[in-house]
Structure 1
Amino acid sequence: MTEYLIYFNQQWVGDHSGEWFRSRAPLAMAVTREARDAGVYVFAGGLVEEVEEAVSVDATSGEVVFTDGPFAETKEFLGGFMVVEVPDLEAAKEWGGKIAVACGWPQEIREFKPQPNV
């Protein structure tokens, strides 16, 4: 089994009314329950939209430095994600499609590298 990250950038969500977002919540929760029931769910979560609340950590100087805000100036930032553990990319694409339909915005799917034995 392989783990896949299914995620979206906040900017892909688009502008919608509060009513529209509330109508999507039950659909997204249903897909999450379906993934749990199927035994493929690893973890999922949405992130706070205010990217200014991020904290960056950099230790490349040999010293750990914390800075308020995102590490890089960027036009897009992560909005939320789900990690699934499935047999292959085709299965991950199936779950990504379900999530895209439920949420109402695009998703991207990426395979995790295999975990080293520790």
Structure 2
Amino acid sequence: MLKGRTVLIVETEALIAIDIQSTLESAGAAETIIAFSATEALKLAEHWAGAALAVVEVEQNRHDLLALIRTVVQSGIPTVCISADSRLTAGLPGLPNVRVLAKPVPEETLLEAARQAQLPSR
């Protein structure tokens, strides 16, 4: 699924980002680009263009994160979101194909969501 590919991780908490990184590298990701904000992720865009997957933290009323998620999705990168706000797990406005997982995310759940995100749309 991720073998030899690049993954973008956008997460404000370093320990959570490192945990996600470890999980995805164990699943075969060759490179993980970690950003701690939407602004930082956009500055690193040339490094994650064409990534196999993006895992992006989303928070209520954080329009910068929603804009980043839209940018990533529009560029064709399969995206999974994570959030501490369980209300967001119902989905994001205008992004029906982006799954939002509630933190803390079990490793198996993240990997299954990543696999599903990478399946071709029907």
TM-score range, shorter chain: under 0.3
Q: Give the TM-score taking structure 1 as reference length.
A: 0.27
When Rg is computed on C-alpha atoms for both structures, the one with the higher figure is: 1
Higher RCO structure, 1 or 2 (CA under 8 Å, sep 6+): 1
| Higher helix residue share | 2
| Higher strand residue share | 1
